[in-house]
Copies of this chain bind each other. A is one copy, B any other.
Amino acid sequence: MIVGVGLSRVLEPAGVLPQAAWRLDASPVLGADEVRVRVSRLNLDAASFRQLSGKHGGDGAAVRSEVLEIVGARGKMHNPVTGSGGMLIGVVEEVGPASSLPVRVGDRVATLVSLTLTPLVIDDGLVGWDGLSEQVPASGHAILFGRSVVAVLPDDLAPELALAVFDVCGAPALTDRVVRGHAGPVSVAVLGGAGKSGSLALAAAKAAGARTCGVVVSAAEREALVGAGVADHVAVADARDPVAVAAAVTGALGGPATVTVVCVDVPGCEHGAILATAAGGTVIFFSMATSFPAAALGAEGLAADVTMLVGNGFVPGHAVFAVEVLRRTPGVRALFEARISAD
């Protein structure tokens, strides 16, 4: 009854979703809507690698053994201590006849869903990996479900750049959809406009015809964002100060924003975003530091008739859309490249 989420791959406990399962069936034989990928690299989640490396005192061989042990026992690279996974890169090997994923045999792809729910077999003992970094050269296969999320790596972008874009690709797609869903002239304020998700959200808003205002925390970020050319206005304010944020946005745009997008990964940005948004407008929260009660009770206490969206990281076509935005916006691409080389 519930199709495409991999329930048939769950071995134990029965009846839970693959992410919640202890053990998955990673058999290479495909269900009708599944896809098999020949794996070339795993990117372990940073928290997972740190835990493993710490546990084994930096002994790479021991880390490698434990990763092999986890994948062998669970049928997925799901660190039982941190609960986290990572993602993988590979080449599409077989596509089930009923698959609706936008991939073909031979495509070089990255998975955008977590390794914690991806059936995986490693067949080379990870001989190419020294166990000293999160980047794991690997041979094996992985299974994608009907509702997995996967993106083809573009030929014209370095893989690091493409992965950085994929990481935040929900933000521009959802911003585009929300801007186009509002009638009449739309203004958009983005808190954290100089960051990865923020600059892509601004670029998408501008491309959709909105007037844009980026709110940043420092003069350096201000300069970077002005250079990117996607914000009609750039204001400096502490996103945690509701009165300062509302004053900055209404000052720059001549009134509150139709749509406010929160891309600042610090707690306490809810009330400023709500106050900066016009009645009938929309706040999109993309920050994982968002507090649900702070948003719900804040809007109630301010009698703010605003629609508040949990920023869903999945919008159909989001990866292709985000890469398109990056290609069309050299200023944003430069921001991304500067961040990658600084990492």
Residues of A within 8 A of B (CB): 1-2, 4-5, 7, 15-17, 19, 112-114, 117, 147-149, 170, 241-244, 246-247, 250-251, 271, 275, 285, 288, 290-293, 295-297, 299-316
Contact = CB atoms under 8 A, between A and B. Distances in A.
Which 4 A-B residue pairings sit nearest by Cβ, starting from the closest? Answer: A300-B313, A308-B310, A147-B303, A299-B312
A301 B19 contact: yes
A312 B307 contact: yes
Contacts of A310: 285, 292, 295-296, 299, 308-310
B2 A300 contact: no
A306 B285 CA distance: 15
A300 B299 CA distance: 25
Nearest to A4: B303
Given A113-B300, A242-B17, A251 B1 contact: yes
14 contacts: A1-B247, A2-B275, A17-B271, A17-B302, A19-B301, A113-B301, A288-B296, A288-B297, A291-B292, A296-B313, A299-B313, A302-B314, A309-B309, A309-B310
A150 to B, nearest CB: 10
Contacts of A244: 15
Contacts of A285: 292, 310
A67 B295 CA distance: 29
A201 to B, nearest CB: 15
A208 B15 CA distance: 35
A316 to B, nearest CB: 6
A275 B7 CA distance: 12
Contacts of A148: 303
A250 to B, nearest CB: 6
A16 B243 contact: yes
Contact of A7 (B4, B243, B297, B314): B243
B292 A314 contact: no
A169 to B, nearest CB: 10
Contacts of A288: 292-293, 296-297
A152 B296 CA distance: 23
A109 B112 CA distance: 52
Contacts of A242: 16-17
A305 B315 contact: yes
A296 B311 contact: yes
A303 B292 contact: no
A314 B301 CA distance: 8
Contacts of A313: 296-297, 299-300
